[in-house]
């Protein structure tokens, strides 16, 4: 099939381009990019794309799948459909399923369950479903599997890291705090020759205690148990000391405080091999939003104070924070219908992140379109040790077409995810993904 996208706004962080072009796509490849394309075959499908945005496919660094173990929250199929509907062409699931992804047999089982094949060119851990569901026009994204660092993510004993690497995991993380620093040191030493990404979520659970909201005036005002900034920053400082000693590259997940941004900026300036990410809700909302006591605003780490969100946004724009992750965390209705402090932390986001970030960051001109797209596509891919192709002739068509003006209502029938734990449920949003190619 050959398609001509006419007068589409091309946003390409690889080439630093934000301009109007015609783009010709055929047989899974970009064939031509020019200000005007007229030499086309008779069977070419021509699409007027004025007002639409075309960028590299979005890449999610980490999210949660219910399957295996919690299929009432999310299946792999619904997870991938939600990701495609949100503009993602590559997604990565955390290993905290049931059973945990801590052995090669489960990696193989999950690959087989999806009916896919191992990726080519050394990019193990990728697989495409045989065919997308008829209700979804876009192809489903490539799915990466994070392998657990510790057995059953209990934080006490390392998994067989080399065996998991050979099985094709994209990298290693527990997706939960790992506080045994002696074990962290051993992990960094063992992983150094494997050449796979390793991600840690620095958080001191003793300092977190029973807190559910970032410490500050709003926590006092809303009467919720506070979590001090030091619960995150002391753990990051310890992690940076280990990286400085051992030299293994590390990705720091879920950065949520202004002081954390300062520590990471200083470490990068000193040449430490680190990358970092925050989540989309942490750059979108701060503690003022918790006034509603909506249980989907109970996150871990919690939403930051106004000074935190300002520092996170500045950090993303400056490249101190490399990527914005989605950290999609589905829960059933019954699990979330509890008091704020009692509900499990987390919210869905795959289908909501791009429209809301575009509306509140790009349309307000706080971010350029290139800055946002880079944090959602090329940079997260690089954190995984991968590359995203430029939007140029003879390159693979891994693309997302987005309409910033299309409105839609967030409701059960408009979502592909099985869960509805989002504070935007029932609200009208502006911005919708039209199609992806991958």
Q: What is the mean pLDDT of residues 269-297?
A: 98
The length of the chain is 438
327 a catalytic residue: yes
**Which domains, and CATH codes, for the chain?**
56-391+416-425 (3.20.20.140)
Q: Give dist(CA 219, CA 211) in Å, integer.
A: 10
What local confidence, expressed as pLDDT, does residue 129 receive? Answer: 35
For 193-241, what is each residue's pLDDT tens digit?
Answer: 999 999 999 999 999 999 999 999 999 999 999 999 999 999 999 999 9
Number of C-alpha atoms within 13 angstroms, CB side, residue 157? 5
Q: What is the pLDDT of residues 346-399, one digit of tens each?
A: 999 999 999 999 999 999 999 999 999 999 999 999 999 999 999 999 999 999
The residue from 174, 286, 327, 403 that is catalytic is: 327
Please give the share of the chain, as a percent, with pLDDT higher than 70.
95
Beta strand 142-147 pairing with 428-437: unpaired
Q: Torsion angle of alpha carbons 90, 416, 422, 437, nearest 10°?
A: 30
Q: Which residues pair with 8 in a beta bridge?
A: 21
Q: Answer for the pair 143, 126: CB distance below 8 angstroms, yes or no.
A: yes
Q: Give the contacts of 302 (CB within 8 A, at least 6 positions apart).
A: 211, 212, 213, 214, 227, 256, 287
Is residue 123 pLDDT above 60, yes or no? no
> How far is the C-alpha of 352 from the C-alpha of 417, rounded, in Å?
11
Quote the CA–CA distance of 153 and 157 in Å, as a whole number: 9
Tokens of 209: 């205690």
How many CA atoms, within 13 angstroms, populate the side-chain half-sphere of residue 281? 28
Q: Are 115 and 139 in contact (CB under 8 A)?
A: no
């Amino acid at each position: 099939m050959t398609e001509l996208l006419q007068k589409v706004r091309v946003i390409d962080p690889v080439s630093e381009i934000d301009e109007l072009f015609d783009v010709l796509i055929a047989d899974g490849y970009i064939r031509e990019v020019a200000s005007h394309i007229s030499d086309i075959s008779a069977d070419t499908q021509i699409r007027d794309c004025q007002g639409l945005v075309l960028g590299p496919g979005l890449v999610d660094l980490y999210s949660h799948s219910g399957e295996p173990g919690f299929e009432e929250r999310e299946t792999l199929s619904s997870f991938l459909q939600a990701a495609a509907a949100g503009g993602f062409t590559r997604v990565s699931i955390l290993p905290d399923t049931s059973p945990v992804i801590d052995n090669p047999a489960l990696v193989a089982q999950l690959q087989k369950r999806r009916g896919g094949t191992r990726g080519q060119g050394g990019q193990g851990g990728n697989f495409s479903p045989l065919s997308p569901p008829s209700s979804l026009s876009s192809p489903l994204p490539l799915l990466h599997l994070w392998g657990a660092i510790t057995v059953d993510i209990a934080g006490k004993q390392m998994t067989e890291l080399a065996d998991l690497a050979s099985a094709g995991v994209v990298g290693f993380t527990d997706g939960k705090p790992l506080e045994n620093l002696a074990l962290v040191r051993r992990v960094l030493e063992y992983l150094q020759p494997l050449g796979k990404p390793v991600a840690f979520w620095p958080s001191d659970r003793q300092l977190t205690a029973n807190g559910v909201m970032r410490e500050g005036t709003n926590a006092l005002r809303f009467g919720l148990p506070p979590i001090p900034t030091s619960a995150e920053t002391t753990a990051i400082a310890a992690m940076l000391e280990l990286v400085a000693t051992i030299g293994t590259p590390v990705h720091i997940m879920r950065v949520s405080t202004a002081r954390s941004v300062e520590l990471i900026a200083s470490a990068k300036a000193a040449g430490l091999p680190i990358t970092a990410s925050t989540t989309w809700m942490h750059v979108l909302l701060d503690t003022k939003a918790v006034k509603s006591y909506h249980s989907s605003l109970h996150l871990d780490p919690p939403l930051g104070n106004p000074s935190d969100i300002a520092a996170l946004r500045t950090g993303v724009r400056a490249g101190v924070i490399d990527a914005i992750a989605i950290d999609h965390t589905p829960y059933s209705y019954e699990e979330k219908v509890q008091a704020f402090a009692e509900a499990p932390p987390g919210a869905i986001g795959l289908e909501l992140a791009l429209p809301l970030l575009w509306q509140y960051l790009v349309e307000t001109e706080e971010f350029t379109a290139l800055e946002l797209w880079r944090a959602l596509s090329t940079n997260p891919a690089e954190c995984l040790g991968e590359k995203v192709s430029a939007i140029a002739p003879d390159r693979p068509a891994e693309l997302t077409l987005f309409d910033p003006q299309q409105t839609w209502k967030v409701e059960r029938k408009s979502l592909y995810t099985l869960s509805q734990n989002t504070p935007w449920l029932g609200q009208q949003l502006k911005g919708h993904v039209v199609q992806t190619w991958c």
